[in-house]
Structure 1
Amino acid sequence: MNKAKRLYFGWYIVITASIIVLLSMGMRMGIGPFIHPIMDDLKLSRTEISLIVSIGMIFYGVGMPLAGILLKTFNTRMVLLMGLAIVCISIVWTVYSKGMLSFLLSYGVFLSIGLAFLSSITLSPIVSKWFVRQRGKALFYLTTGGMAGLAVMTPVETWLIGLMGWHNTLLLLGAIFLCIVLPSAIFIMREDVPEEADGAGADGAKIRPVAPANLTLKDALKTPTYWKIVFGLFACGFGMNLLGSHGVPMLMDHHFAPMTASLGVGIIGVVAIFGSLFLAQLADRFPRKNILFLVYVVRGLGFFGLVFSAATWQLFLVSFIGGLAWSGSVAMSTAILGDLYGVRLLAILNGLAYFIGHQVGAAIGSFLGGWGYEVFGTHLLSFSAAGILALLASLASITLPQSLSFSKPTDLYDRHNITSGQ
């Protein structure tokens, strides 16, 4: 086959990474269909299971920088295999849990850490290494896997739980993880990136100054820009995990049938898949902060629409419109971090941002959803908070700079740091 026509190997990595993220995000965000059967089986209150889910979000976040540290010591393949082992063991443990403590440790702690090792935090650095010229597009495709997880897994899990119960559903998901992640890690996840990556060294490539080679984590953490990105991820985690944990129960409490509620949440993910594919075409052509701004605005308005939907057509309409620009916050945040701070620190910076921002927000959102309902008898408080946070995140995003200046010498240029509209 002609070399010019051969599919760039990096795209195989993107495809397999997206499938892995589909599974891990689908399980992490797809707790909603499990809540009622687990509450009934383990005799847990909504506040108790919300607390366990929130603790799980924290440990999911703890696993993010841990995965980043392990990536510097080992490689993507080894971190994925570690995550797979933890996930499979934790699923079996969860299935045989008989009380709150056992369920907390198996599902809330260890399964969460294992899923963190199989998340986009582990996979985005290798994608960023293989793609420079089309980094934004590749990361958006990776995000599409996460959106597909929300779209596919939520209704599928609802159907499977009704068919075989939550125990067997978890075991089946564990078997699927094993069949997908094991061969992907062994045969696809290669670190031997070509020198020119995806055409980064082509004639006419746009180059720009990059962060100093000796830029430290401490230097990066001192910049206000980093914390704006963290705040955006906080809003993202709060809202997305509130939706994943309490979206289906909230809609059921609003008198929607279980499958209608699952479809309402699932439509967001289905439409977001196509929205991600469209935004991927724009990611390297327009300023990334503008795309991030759009994503947060649409998401913020979407939360208000969901909680006020009173009829099935209203729910599906809000889900469809919201899904058009629902995804992309993590992809754009990752791309912006890579652009501003360099790929060398990307894994640890992204992992910390995800933990400090996204997962702390996720824990608060998941807990507030259950606690707020039991105390106030309404989901308006938690879903309105999610909408307001997303709108504030849009304001923080639009003020992000195009580049950063550091006190250390910045006379290093990198032909592999290519921007289009940045």
Structure 2
Amino acid sequence: MSMGVFFLPIANDLHFSRSALSSIIAIGMLFSGIAMPIAGYLVNKYSTRFVLLLGSIIIIISTVWAANVNGYWNFFLSFGVALSFGTSFVGSVSFTPIVVRWFSKHRGLALFILSSGSMAGIAVMLPVFAYFIPLYGWQTTLVGFSLLFMLLALPIAIFIMKDNHIETATTEVQENLKKDITLKQVLKTRPFWLLSFGLFTCGFSMNLLGTHGVPMLIDHGFDAITSSSGIGLIGLVAIFSTLVLGFISDIVQRKLVLAMIFLVRGLGFIALVIASTKWQLYGIALVGGLVWAGALSLSSAISADIYGVKIVGLLSGLTYLGHQIGAMVGSWLGGWAYDNWHTHYIAFGAASVLLLLAAFGSCFLPKIINK
């Protein structure tokens, strides 16, 4: 989600048009989506630790590779393909199976707390990257971040991650593990496709903002620090709002919380693109941050509620594939529409419409009694 501050420096340094770089990011999102079911499968077959270690190694190699190339195809393979696989392997799809199996009564809250890590990343790293890139360049900043990531991620993967949850799981969780439903049966059900459309929309909007939010605000007259701080504020607020939303999702119908998240986001995208003052920007970011996290967490919780947790890793990976297809389209459309029409209203307006449709569709998910 920090691509926005890297976007213009990379494009200018490597002499890429916005469309060209957006295409690399868009295809990268597709590869990230393809990697997610693979990650879910590997977690079920081996362990979360194995997938995290593999993903960390891929991230180190791909970032060093990307920082030392200057051609389109080398950057596409390193940054667009390899790094996308690495980040997917250390993403939420690898953690979701552990969380939904360990937690039942407070599953929604647990998943929301998990998602707060991403929000913290947005809030902390966007301003940090915005500060370091002008001083040291995007290449040094990228490699430095990957080394810091390695120092944090490897000990966590080795010493903390434990998949031996079944022995200590509650009776309810053990019964849920025994639910026997096949992927073929799931694909024939309406809730799966409603959740997939919602995550497609989530990916479209989040990565449109992550990739083109900062350039859009700069084009609209804001300076780079104000732009990155405004987008970062969304993540900062979301760190705390996730706890509230997670608590609420374990009390009221989760589908209603999901619909509310999509509704407020849809209105927020239009507001963001027409913001003209610093305080308008910060006010919109403040409201947007209240509902920025949660779609992925709620979709995983609803999926586990409906289909059980036995194949939740694979199902999460498949629905996240829809998320990344949306991310691909959003990242590409943001650059293509601007290059051709010199406006951000097309891409951000499309995100708003899709989010409002997702809010409407979420109301038709099954009614589930939270235990």
Q: Report the TM-score range of the alignment, normalised by the length of the smaller protein.
A: over 0.9
2:114 to 142, 145, 150: 142
Higher gyration radius (CA) = 1
Partners of 2:160 and 2:177 in 1: how far apart? 30
Partners of 1:317 and 1:270 in 2: how far apart? 13
Alignment-derived partner of residue 347 in structure 1:
313
Q: Provide the TM-score with structure 2 as the length reference.
A: 0.97
Alignment-derived partner of residue 230 in structure 2:
264
Answer with 329-338 or 67-76: which moved more.
67-76
- Tell whether 2:42 aligns with 1:76: no
Counterparts in 2 of 1:328 and 1:122: CA distance versus 1, 3 Å: same
Q: Is the 8 A contact 2:26 2:327 kept in 1?
A: yes
Structure 1 segment 4-403 matched on structure 2, within 5 A: 29-193=1-165, 195-197=167-169, 200-201=170-171, 213-355=179-321, 357-402=322-367
Partners of 2:287 and 2:63 in 1: how far apart? 35
Q: Is the 8 A contact 2:275 2:281 kept in 1?
A: yes
Residue 387 of structure 1 aligns to which amino acid in structure 2? S
Partners of 1:144 and 1:98 in 2: how far apart? 35
Partners of 1:319 and 1:213 in 2: how far apart? 41
Partners of 1:150 and 1:174 in 2: how far apart? 16
State the Cα deviation string for residues 167-225 of structure 1 (Å, max 9, x = none). Answer: 1101111111111111111110011226453xx44xxx8x9x96973310000011011
Partners of 2:180 and 2:277 in 1: how far apart? 57
Q: Is the 8 A contact 1:298 1:326 kept in 2?
A: no
Q: Is the 8 A contact 1:152 1:266 kept in 2?
A: yes
State the Cα deviation string for residues 314-373 of structure 1 (Å, max 9, x = none). Answer: 111111111112210000000000110111110111101111x20111000000000001
Residue 138 of structure 1 aligns to which amino acid in structure 2? A
Describe the SS at the equivalent of 1:190: coil
Partners of 1:79 and 1:129 in 2: how far apart? 18
Q: Is the 8 A contact 1:46 1:371 kept in 2?
A: yes
Q: CA deviation at 1:419?
A: 2.8
Residue 143 of structure 1 aligns to which amino acid in structure 2? S
Residue 150 of structure 1 aligns to which amino acid in structure 2? I
Q: Is the 8 A contact 2:201 2:358 kept in 1?
A: yes
Q: Is the 8 A contact 2:203 2:326 kept in 1?
A: yes
Aligned residues: 371
Q: Which has the higher helix share?
A: 2
The list of structure 1 runs, each at least 4 consecutive aligned residues, that deviate by more than 4 angstroms after superposition, is 209-212
Partners of 2:164 and 2:38 in 1: how far apart? 23
Q: Is the 8 A contact 2:199 2:295 kept in 1?
A: yes
Partners of 1:60 and 1:153 in 2: how far apart? 21
Unaligned runs of 5+ residues in structure 2 are: none
Kindly report the root-mean-square deviation, in angstroms, between the aligned alpha carbons of the 2 structures: 1.7
Describe the SS at the equivalent of 2:250: coil
Alignment-derived partner of residue 406 in structure 1:
none
Q: Is the 8 A contact 2:233 2:286 kept in 1?
A: yes
Describe the SS at the equivalent of 1:244: helix
Alignment-derived partner of residue 409 in structure 1:
none
Residue 249 of structure 2 aligns to which amino acid in structure 1? A
Alignment-derived partner of residue 10 in structure 1:
none
State the Cα deviation string for residues 220-257 of structure 1 (Å, max 9, x = none). Answer: 01101100000000110000000000000000000100
Q: Provide the TM-score with structure 1 as the length reference.
A: 0.85
Unaligned runs of 5+ residues in structure 1 are: 1-28, 404-417
